[in-house]
Amino acid sequence: MDVVVGQLLAGLSVGSVLLLAAVGMSLTFGQMGIINMAHGEFIMIGAYTVYMVQQFVSVAALSYVIAIPCAFLLAAAVGVLLEQGVLQFMYRRPLDTLLVTFGVSLILQQAARDIFGAPAVAINIPEFLSGHVSLLGAAIPVSRILIIVLAMVLVLLVSWLLKATQVGRRMRAVTVNRELAEVSGIPTRRTDRLTFALGSGLAGIAGVAITLIGSTTPTLGSNYIVYAFLVVVAGGLSSIWGAVIAAVALGIVQSAIAFGTTQSIATWVSFLLVVLFLQWRPQGIFSLKTRSLA
């Protein structure tokens, strides 16, 4: 019994990491349709923000509290630069966008390598996060619980933002029908910029959380980019709740297979399952129903 609970919790925590990486992408890729290969590097920027903050703040817990808004702002700023400088010229040219953002991701990686050096930097993790607690007979690390909570908070925030605020309603309007939104007086360019900034900023926050479990290196983001795409596509491009279900399902499936077999097999089986799922349901778990689809 505690093995089952343990693996369910493991799956939940794996899923929440995937979800964190994918939340921002559900905006930039899901809502805007931009294939941003540099999304992983925004995660990396968030992770290095923790390192930079810790150069000035020696109390680990406090440094994390400060790092979260800093990472959001820094990643959002770089995101705006990318959107303004490059991407706005290539909307509706997905192949060009893919190649250009891939180039940008290499540039950002090399920049991090030049600034911080190639080896992983040392991050101080708050003392209370390094232990574990027992839950229903299974042990789960405190840092993983924090990540699950953080992922949930971010998802709730984003879904509230999309539903209940003017900015969010505009974002959705632009997604559903850009021309109609534009003739209704919505500043679509400004909305694009905001959406992209928000998506990038969320990647930055994901980076802060990821420093708790993995190493902080210039290539950290490339470990998560494929999973982020996978989660967003499987979830249904414009649905954040679809991403939640996809991430948790993927995490649990992966942990379950890994327990019976090995981690490598679990990785490729979970990829296979997503491919099969998309054959059956190409639009993902949830699809956006609009008149324009009819």
Residues of span 193-222 touching another protein by CB under 8 A: 212-217, 219-220, 222
**Number of shown-chain residues binding another protein (CB under 8 A):** 71
Task: Using alpha carbons, list the distances in angstroms from residue 18 to 57, 206, 221, 224.
Answer: 29, 9, 12, 7
Q: Is 188 in the site for another protein (CB under 8 A)?
A: no
CB count, 10 Å around CB of 71?
Answer: 31
Q: Which of 200, 163, 189, 249 is nearest to 80 (CA)?
A: 200
Name the minimum Å distance from CB 196 to another protein: 16
Select the residue interacting with another protein from 23, 171, 230, 231 (CB under 8 A): 230
CB count, 10 Å around CB of 26?
Answer: 30
Name the minimum Å distance from CB 82 to another protein: 17
Q: Is 35 in the site for another protein (CB under 8 A)?
A: yes
Name the minimum Å distance from CB 73 to another protein: 26
Q: Which is nearer to another protein, 201 or 251 (CB)?
A: 251
Select the residue interacting with another protein from 45, 151, 225, 285 (CB under 8 A): 225
Select the residue interacting with another protein from 86, 90, 126, 177 (CB under 8 A): 177
Q: Is 229 in the site for another protein (CB under 8 A)?
A: yes
Name the minimum Å distance from CB 171 to another protein: 14
Name the minimum Å distance from CB 163 to another protein: 19
Q: Which of residues 6-25 bind another protein (CB under 8 A)?
A: 6-7, 10, 13-14, 17
Q: Which is nearer to another protein, 33 or 69 (CB)?
A: 33
Name the minimum Å distance from CB 124 to another protein: 9
Give the contact letters, 236-275, x = binds to another protein (CB under 8 A), - = no: -x----------------xx--xx--xxx-xx---x----
Q: Which of 107, 59, 197, 119 is nearest to 67 (CA)?
A: 59
Q: Is 185 in the site for another protein (CB under 8 A)?
A: no
Select the residue interacting with another protein from 226, 272, 276, 281 (CB under 8 A): 226
Q: Which of residues 92-151 bind another protein (CB under 8 A)?
A: 92, 94-95, 98, 102, 110, 113, 118-123, 125, 129-132, 139, 141-144
Q: Label each residue of the chain as H, E or C.
A: CHHHHHHHHHHHHHHHHHHHHHHHHHHHHHHCCCCCCCHHHHHHHHHHHHHHHHHHCCCHHHHHHHHHHHHHHHHHHHHHHHHHHCHHHHCCCHHHHHHHHHHHHHHHHHHHHHHHCCCCECCCCCHHHCCEEEECCEEEEHHHHHHHHHHHHHHHHHHHHHHHCHHHHHHHHHHHCHHHHHHCCCCHHHHHHHHHHHHHHHHHHHHHHHCCCCCECCCCCHHHHHHHHHHHHHHCCCCHHHHHHHHHHHHHHHHHHHHHCCHHHHHHHHHHHHHHHHHHCCCCCCCCCCHHHC
Instruction: Specify the residue for token string 């993983």.
Output: 144
Select the residue interacting with another protein from 8, 176, 269, 273 (CB under 8 A): 176
Q: Which of residues 62-81 bind another protein (CB under 8 A)?
A: none
Site stretch for another protein (CB under 8 A), options 2-10, 56-64, 79-87, 164-172? 2-10
